Amino acid sequence: MTKTVAVWLCLALSAAALSAQTPTPGRYQAPVVSDTGGLKGPRQPIFFRHDIHAGQDQIPCMYCHATVAVASEPGIPALQTCIGCHQLISGSTPSHQAEIKKVRDAWRERKAPEWTRIHALPGFVRFPHQRHIKALGTQACTKCHGDVQTMPQVYQVSTLRMGWCVSCHQQNKVSRDCTVCHY
């Protein structure tokens, strides 16, 4: 059931992706990255471009990070999710094709890529994503993660330190009780 939905969505999106080859005005256009070394943020095993997926193709964050609104964890998309689309989409430029090939190889070899973690909280902090999405809306990801849809390579924008959490809770007049996050 969910799978079929996924497939249809993929088709739709791939169509979008293809049409994206011809730039339409008013739509964000991901830059061509020649020097990946110069990019901010840690280098990932596969050069996954959030700016293309989320920005240019406008795939909603929750398509891949599906559980963010229902669970404390947003979830890292399973390789199946990537393959869902990239069975059909093999990329326009050679550099893109090279990266997408990595995904397909990984799928063939049944070996998931080891992403380098960017946003990490210490073990004694509980951050229920669902509560924050509920309160701030599904578009609120950028509040903490920054404009990921324009990042060729994702990097950490917010400090994720307690002071940062508290200031936001203070502004929004929500509880700053310790055991909301620490237990």
Partner 1 sequence: MADGMTRVTYDYVTRTIARTLGNPGRGYFLLLGAAVALLAIGIVTLLFLLRYGLGLAGYSHPVYWAVFITCFVFWVGIAHSGTLISAILFLFRSGWRTAVYRTAEAMTVFAVMTAGLFPLIHIGRQWYFYWLIPYPNERGLWPNFKSPLIWDEFAIGTYFTVSTVFLIMGLIPDIAAVRDLATGWRKKLYTLCSVGWRGTNEEWRHYTRGYLYLAALATPLVLSVHSVVSWDFAMAIVPGWHATIFAPYFVAGAIYSGCAMVITLLVPIRKLFQLEELITVKHFENLSKLCLLTGSIVGYAYVCEYFIAWFSGNPTERAAFWYRAFGPYWWATWTMLICNAFLPLLLWVKKIRTNLTALFVISIFVNIGMWFERYVIIVVSLAGEPHTPWTNAVYNPTWADWGIMAGSFGWFFMWFLLFVKNFPAVSIAEVKEVLAPPKRVAAKGGAHA
Partner 2 sequence: MTDGPNSIDRRRFLKVLGVTGAGAAAISACGIGPEPTEKLIPYLIPPEDQIPGTATYYASTCRECAAGCGIHVRVREGRAVKIEGNPESPINSGRLCARGQAAPQGVYNPDRVTGPMVRNTAGGFDSITWDDAISRVQGKLTAARGHGIVFLTGADASSFGDLVDDWMRQVGGRRVSYEAFGFDALRAGNRLAFGTAAVPSYDFANAKYVLSFGADFLDTWLSPVSFQNGFSRAHAFDGSRDGSMAKFVFVGPRMSLTGMNADEWVAALPGTEGVLALAMAQVIVSRRLAAVPTDAGRLAALLADHTPAKVAAITGLDEKLIVRLATEFAAAKGGLAVAGGMAAQYANGADIVAAVNILNYVAGAVGKLVKFGPDLAVGETGTFSDFARLTADMAGGRVALLFVHGTNPAHSLPGAFTQGLAKVGYKVSFASFMDETAAAADLILPDLHPLEQWNDSRPRAGIYALQQPTMQPVFPETRQSGDVVLKIMGRPGTYRDHLQGRWRELQRRFGAGKSFEQFWMDALQHGGVYGDAPARPVRLAEGASRIAPAPAAPTGGDQTVVVFPHPVLHDGRGANKPWLQELPDPVSKIAWHGWVEVHPETAKRWDLATGDFLLLKSAFGAVKAPVWITASVRPDVLAVPTGHGHAAYGRYAKDRSFNAFELLGADANAYGGRTFAVGATATKTGEHRKIVTTEGSARERGEGSVETLTLARAKSLGAADHPFHHEETPEYAKESVEWWGERQFEQAELGNYAGEQPRWGLAVDLSKCTGCSACVTACYAENNLATVGEELMMRGREMSWLRLERYWLTDAEGHPQGAVNSPMMCQQCGNAPCEPVCPVYAAYHTPDGLNGQVYNRCVGTRYCSNNCPYKVRYFNWYNYAERGGEWEAWPEPLSMLLNPDVTVRERGVMEKCTFCVQRIRGAQNKARLEDRNVRDGEIVPACAQSCPSEAIVFGDLHDRNSEVYKLAGNPRGYHVLAGLNTKPAVTYLARVVSNG
Q: Which residue from 12, 16, 162, 174 is in contact with partner 1, where contact means CB under 8 A? A: 162
Vertex 22 angle, CA 21 and 23, to 5°: 105
Q: Which stretch binds partner 1 (CB under 8 A): 55-63, 78-86, 128-136, 160-168?
A: 160-168
Residue 164 lies near partner 1 (rule: CB under 8 A): yes
Rounded CA separation 171/166 (Å) = 9
Structure tokens at 124: 């004694």
Residue 166 lies near partner 1 (rule: CB under 8 A): yes
Cα–Cα distances (Å) from 23 to 47, 56, 92, 94, in that order, read 22, 10, 13, 19
Rounded CA separation 147/36 (Å) = 18
Shortest distance (Å) from residue 176 CB to partner 1:
8
Residue 90: which of 105, 102, 101, 78 has the closest Cα?
Answer: 101
Q: Which stretch binds partner 1 (CB under 8 A): 63-71, 117-125, 136-144, 155-163?
A: 155-163
Residues in Cβ contact with 91 at an 8 Å cutoff, skipping those fewer than 6 apart? 97, 98, 99, 100
Residue 161 lies near partner 1 (rule: CB under 8 A): yes
Rounded CA separation 101/122 (Å) = 35
Residue 62 lies near partner 2 (rule: CB under 8 A): no
Picked from partner 2, partner 1, none, the partner binding residue 18 (CB below 5 to 8 A depending on kind) is: none
Q: Which stretch binds partner 2 (CB under 8 A): 16-24, 71-79, 97-105, 137-145?
A: 71-79
Picked from partner 1, partner 2, none, the partner binding residue 163 (CB below 5 to 8 A depending on kind) is: partner 1
Q: Which residue from 117, 159, 163, 171 is in contact with partner 2, where contact means CB under 8 A? A: 117
Residues that bind partner 1 in the complex, under the rule CB under 8 A: 161-164, 166
